[in-house]
Amino acid sequence: MAEGQTRVMTDDPYLWLEEVTGETALDWVRERNATAVAELTGERFTGLRDELREVLDADDRIPYPRRRGRYLYNFWQDATNPRGLWRRTTLDSYRTDDPEWELVVDVDALARAEDESWVWQGATVLRPGYRLALVELSRGGADASVVREFDLETKTFVEGGFTLPEAKSRVGWIDEDRLFVGTDFGEGSLTASGYPRIAKEWRRGTPLSEAVTVFEGKPDDVSAGAYHDPTEGFERDFVYRNVDFYRTEKFLRRPGGELVKVDVPDDAETSVHREWLLISTRTPWTVGDTTYPAGALLAARFDDYLAGARDLTVLFEPDEHTSLSYQVWTRNHLVIASLQDVKSRFEVLTPVQDWARTPLTGVPEVGSADILDTNPDVDDEYFLNASGYTQPATLYYGEIGGHVAAVKRAPTFFDAEGLSTHQYFATSDDGTQIPYFVVGQENDGPTLMTGYGGFEVSLTPGYSGTTGRGWLARGGQYVVANIRGGGEYGPEWHQSVQKEHRLRVYEDFAAVARDLVTRGITTPERLGIQGGSNGGLLMGVMLTRYPELFGAIVCQVPLLDMRRYHTLLAGASWMAEYGDPDEPEEWAYLKEYSPYQNVAADRPYPPTFILTSTRDDRVHPGHARKMMARLTELGYDVRYYENIEGGHGAAADNEQLAFKWALVFEFLWQQLAGNPTA
């Protein structure tokens, strides 16, 4: 069958595999797991697994901090504490070579005491004061979690405090005695996507059933909620409804309950800091006689804007090579992070007359950097992390306009001697130039290529000890394709491939694969590809549309059945990205590439490895299961592994993570290096 031709399956004999915990389905999973493990866990696998576990558990990793009041908090996992420790220290101690950490929560001890497979999901700390926290724990790493109030002074859970049972809840502090909460309140309280539809105010000492509704979204919304801004002198409440994945309506909720709409395009993103409203456009927006482009960042005084004034200041405007990545406030300044041909750039803006601009000093020239944390209630400090594909991370601490210093350096996990990084551009079918990075030795070793291509997610250069040890240090080359669908060149880079234009994503990835061969970097037989989630969908399309371009495919926690994806778990929330298969005109383009429906007999499909997690409550494991069954039915070379724990990350701790990645790398080495028994 020629490239691009489709043969769509019209019925589904494997619906029974969508029963996540059905015994028949789980027996099927266990059988295939055993087969894959037997095939892939030889001598080289053991070495890979042990080396990757060393990376993940290394004591000299950077303990990345989050400022909460006078403490820096860190969540830490290692071989002794696989589920992890939530701990804290002071800035002065953190800046030493051996910080003194104070234990706050021991998740391993809690899991043993309660006989639960707890996975840390984070904590929301009450501002100001920072005495109370809402701790979230999930069973096995699922998105759904339980919520428990925690006292950061006594370091104990609050007896009789705020608690929520397992659900995909959204919860935040108003003050010491009140929360905004969205959760599963019973029938009709969730959206079609499975997220909260109703926001309530819950007072301490009252049952959840007596919480008062403050806002409701619609059943077909992705979600709705409420939150409180506790900034001193600017205390405000907001409510919102996410109409779809990219459109939001936001309202200021006045003390009497009156809602005042923040009147911007519903696809624009807004944030409020003190007296300022920031607006990030996703499509062109005309205000008066001025049209602001997609990808611009605008500022206005919040109170004036709500009163009807439209005095907007352009803080950032994109160009052909540069896009807005994000922005973050310190107490007195705004830091704008942008990408210039997928390389990080930073600028400091100060909200005085004309918004004074200066570069952020002290940022090293490496692959990419990110502002990890600031302290906007108090001062102008920031933590910045910088790394490259072959440069281990360095964490910097600085103050805007002041001194910047490296406070932590990550260890070198693999020998980068002889490794180089090059950026190239491939030409896609419609003439668009697609950037990609190639990392490795300039040899004919096997090549691993990855991509994502969706939801405006950018793939930027960064150091990975697991990829370094498992692939680069063993002679492999690594390729990252910055295909459309991401945010590397702003909203239009993403929007140009939504819905009916989706095939361009896959044309881009195929173009990079061909360009690698044209440049002599690799051959199809020695080119493997790997991707997860939306990137797993990418892998499925490569398998069914472009199989001749690749020697092996790794498809992780994937979407694959685009006929039913919107009925499975959170799938309905992604229809703004892909389309609605229940609408005939939208199914018409979805069926052109939906991997599960387009598996065909007698095509040269390369060896394939599909991985997922039983506890993934975001992308349903039925996608992966059914694809495995269909490929097996037709006699293709495919293997399957489903971790019981792990949620969408497919691993609940470092042991599971090392095991999973060792399976992946072992499979790739077997298929691409020509030495399957090594």
**Secondary structure class of 296 (helix, strand, coil):** coil
Local confidence band at 3 (pLDDT 50, 70, 90 cut-offs) = very low
CA triplet 8, 9, 13: central angle to 5 degrees? 165
Q: What is the mean pLDDT of residues 215-230?
A: 97
**Secondary structure class of 572 (helix, strand, coil):** helix
pLDDT of residue 442: 81
Handedness of CA 575, 576, 582, 588 (dihedral sign): negative
Identify the helix (H) or strand (E) that includes residue 470.
helix 465-470
Identify the helix (H) or strand (E) that includes residue 146.
strand 145-151
User: What CA–CA distances, in Å, run from 121 to 11, 25, 345, 492?
Assistant: 39, 28, 30, 33
pLDDT-wise least confident of 10-24, 194-208, 619-633: 10-24
**C-alpha–C-alpha distance, residues 229 and 314, integer Å:** 25
**C-alpha–C-alpha distance, residues 367 and 359, integer Å:** 18
Q: What is the mean pLDDT of residues 119-131?
A: 96
User: What CA–CA distances, in Å, run from 155 to 103, 131, 289?
Assistant: 8, 10, 57
Tokens of 350: 């100060």
Local confidence band at 653 (pLDDT 50, 70, 90 cut-offs) = confident
**C-alpha–C-alpha distance, residues 233 and 236, integer Å:** 9
Q: Specify the residue for token string 């004034």.
A: 309
Tokens of 21: 């915990």
| pLDDT tens-digit readout, 470-504 | 999 999 999 999 999 999 999 999 999 999 999 99
Q: Is the pLDDT of residue 677 over 50?
A: no
The amino acid present at 395, given as its one-letter code, is L
User: What CA–CA distances, in Å, run from 329 to 97, 232, 295?
Assistant: 29, 15, 19
Please state, for a pLDDT cut of 70, what percent of the chain lies above it.
97
Contacts of 197 (CB under 8 A, 6+ apart): 182, 188, 189, 190, 191, 216, 217, 218, 219, 221, 223, 224
**Partners of residue 237 on adjacent β-strands:** 228, 253
pLDDT of residue 498: 96
**C-alpha–C-alpha distance, residues 508 and 497, integer Å:** 10
Strands (E), 230-295: 236-242, 248-253, 259-261, 269-273, 276-280, 285-287, 290-292
**Secondary structure class of 193 (helix, strand, coil):** coil
- Average pLDDT taken over every residue of the chain: 95
Local confidence band at 616 (pLDDT 50, 70, 90 cut-offs) = confident
Burial 118-151 (b: 16+ CB within 10 A, else e): bbbbebebbeeebebbbbbbbbbbbbbbbbbbbe
- Please choose, from the candidates 298, 233, 315, 230, the residue with its C-alpha nearest in 3D space to the C-alpha of residue 264: 298
On the question of a cis peptide bond just before residue 128, with omega within 30 degrees of 0, the verdict is yes
Local confidence band at 644 (pLDDT 50, 70, 90 cut-offs) = confident
pLDDT of residue 2: 38
| pLDDT tens-digit readout, 420-436 | 999 999 999 999 999 99
Contact between residue 453 and residue 535 where contact means Cβ atoms under 8 Å apart: yes
Local confidence band at 6 (pLDDT 50, 70, 90 cut-offs) = very low
Local confidence band at 650 (pLDDT 50, 70, 90 cut-offs) = low
Strands (E), 3-101: 66-68, 71-76, 85-89
**C-alpha–C-alpha distance, residues 541 and 545, integer Å:** 6
Q: pTM for the whole thing?
A: 0.92
Active-site residue numbers?
Answer: 533, 648
Q: Enter the DSSP assignment of 496.
A: T
| pLDDT tens-digit readout, 293-325 | 999 999 999 999 999 999 999 999 999 999 999
Q: Enter the DSSP assignment of 418.
A: T
Local confidence band at 9 (pLDDT 50, 70, 90 cut-offs) = low
Q: What is the mean pLDDT of residues 236-241?
A: 98
Q: Kindly report the three-state secondary structure assignment for every residue of 520-569.
A: CCCCHHHEEEEEECHHHHHHHHHHHHCHHHCCEEEEECCCCCCCCHHHCH
**Secondary structure class of 602 (helix, strand, coil):** coil
Local confidence band at 4 (pLDDT 50, 70, 90 cut-offs) = very low
